[in-house]
Structure 1
Amino acid sequence: MTLEFVLRLAAAFACGVAIGLERQMRQRTAGLRTITLVASGACLFVTLGVLTGNGVAGVTQIAAYVVSGVGFLGGGVIMRDKGSIQGINTAATLWCSAAVGVLCGSGHYLPAFAGTGVVLLTNTVLRDVSRMINATPVSGADLVRLYALTIVCREEDEIHIRTAISNSMYAAPLSFQSLTSEDVTDQAGRIRVTATLKLHPKDQSKLELMASRLSMEKSVSSVSWTAAEAEPTPE
């Protein structure tokens, strides 16, 4: 039994090193040591169930607790930076490393090695494939971006400008979201009209054309627009 224990731990260690080397070379948050410890630790926990003689049910229970524990560990490597989320792939790699360790601890070496190969292929070959897909023109992506168009005009021409904005949006057509007005505190007799809309980034030229047309109105003193981060359209 001692030899079998050593073989299982050695297999988990080897699989963890193989996965961790790829992560370490890419300077990820969870690198060689972390991945190896997760795989080896998962193996040790499962082996504990085997050594205590709790049978298949005991091993399965311990494996379930390992999955839960690794979930908390994976949450620690996920970071949010300026609206974007980083570290999800690293967290998923930790999760898969735990699965490989569980397989080694259960004595299923071939599935463990196969799982290691799948993780490495995913983080190497599919990485290049995803980059190629991301390099395609944005017009082919299923994206949506929120824009804010702001026009400052004379107070008495507010209704005219709001009508002009609405007509321009329906003529484009653009996805109209809202239209609001507020006083300009530092400019007496001026109104700031803000229109929000959602559209595909490839249609941004329509917004630019509309802003250009509105800027030619006599009562308009300034026209500007801003864009938020592009995000996938809801399915």
Structure 2
Amino acid sequence: MASDMELWEYTLRIGIAFFLGGMIGFERQYRQKSAGLRTNTLVSIGSAAFVMLSYAMTGETGDPSRVAGQIVTGIGFLGAGVIIREGANVQGLNTAATIWCSAAVGSLVGAGLYSYGVITALAVVLTLIILRPLAMYLSRRKEKHTNEDYLEAHYTLTISCNIEAEPQIRPIIMEAISENDLQLQSLKSKRDEQSGNLKFEAQIISEGRNNKHIENFAKRIGSDRNVSEIGWILTKTNFN
């Protein structure tokens, strides 16, 4: 690509990078991950801009691949920021890998390889959507094997939120239960006279002792701005 790139061509590539990065980020935002719509879109746009800048600066004699290599290195630091270690569990690896892929999509578009960028973006989105149920299924089988002495476990969750937010919180609770393959036994709500908030009490049943899914459930509910407090306790386990 010549150093005197036309403005319309630059705008086109930035626009495509914006669209593809946003498509990837939409899935992450929908899952309420730390790096969502804006982060993946910005990474894609920035990568495309850097690749085009490298071509403009080096022309036909330089090596623009060096800039692409620096993009990969820089994204590594950005991805490390979304990885969180909690005890023996590590969270954020999928989101970090998604940011890395968004940079690859932006780099392809910046180099003028539009079709390759589109194919890569579609592959990333399909991987995040289609393989997620399979990964959850395999995780459940592993946890079920680990906890094979338990037939089922009963949990009690308490949630405190603004009383006006009850119509919004109830659907979120039901959705989070479905996402984590849990069974709702009962759901009660009453107003706390001291705080004035609405308190939910949910009785939940899980196949085996499944603290990880219960914690994921709690995080999903707790991420709502109307929720002020959430907690859970294992109340009973039935043995085989």
* TM-score range for the pair, normalised by the shorter chain length: 0.5 to 0.7
Q: Secondary structure at the match of 2:90?
A: strand
2:85 corresponds, among 74, 80, 84, to: 80
Please give the TM-score of this superposition, normalised by the length of structure 2. 0.56
Change (3 A) 1:113 1:53: same
Where does the alignment leave 5 or more consecutive residues of structure 1 unmatched? 142-235
> Post-superposition, which runs of at least 4 consecutive aligned residues in structure 1 deviate over 6 A?
none
- In structure 2, what is the equivalent of residue 135 of structure 1? 140
Residues 34-43 or 44-53, more deviating: 44-53
Deviation of residue 3 (structure 1)?
1.4
Find the counterpart in structure 2 of residue 45 from structure 1: 50
Match of 2:112 in 1: 107
- 1:58 deviates by 2.7
Flag the 1:68–1:56 CA change in 2: closer, same or farther, 3 A: farther
Measured in 1, the distance between the counterparts of 2:25 and 2:143 equals 34
Higher Rg of the two aligned structures: 1
Aligned to 1:80, the other structure's residue is in SS state: strand
In structure 1, what is the equivalent of residue 103 of structure 2?
98
| Structure 1 residue 139, shift from structure 2 partner | 7.3
- Aligned mates of 1:42, 1:25 — CA distance in 2: 23
Extract unaligned runs of 5+ from structure 2.
1-5, 147-240
Q: Quote the residue 1:124 is aligned against.
A: 129
> Quick check: 1:49–1:55 contact (8 Å CA) kept in 2?
no
When the two structures are superposed, what TM-score results if normalisation uses the length of structure 1?
A: 0.57
Q: Report the Cα offset of residue 121 of structure 1.
A: 0.7
Deviation at 1:78, TM superposition (A): 0.5
Tell me, in whole angstroms, the C-alpha distance in 2 between the residues paired with 1:125 and 1:56: 43
2:34 to 4, 29, 36: 29
Q: Is the 8 A contact 2:48 2:107 kept in 1?
A: yes
Residue identity (%): 42
What is the aligned length?
141
Matched to 2:104, the amino acid is: A
Amino acid at match of 1:107: G
1:4 to 9, 14, 35: 9
- The answer to whether the 8 A contact 2:58-2:64 is kept is no
Q: Which amino acid aligns with 2:32?
A: Q
Deviation at 1:132, TM superposition (A): 1.6
| Aligned AA (1:69) | G
- Post-superposition offset of 1:96: 0.3
Aligned mates of 2:93, 2:62 — CA distance in 1: 31
Map 1:185-196 onto structure 2 (within 5 A).
none
Structure-2 separation of matches of 1:90 and 1:138: 23
Q: Distance in 2 between matches of 1:134 and 1:6?
A: 44
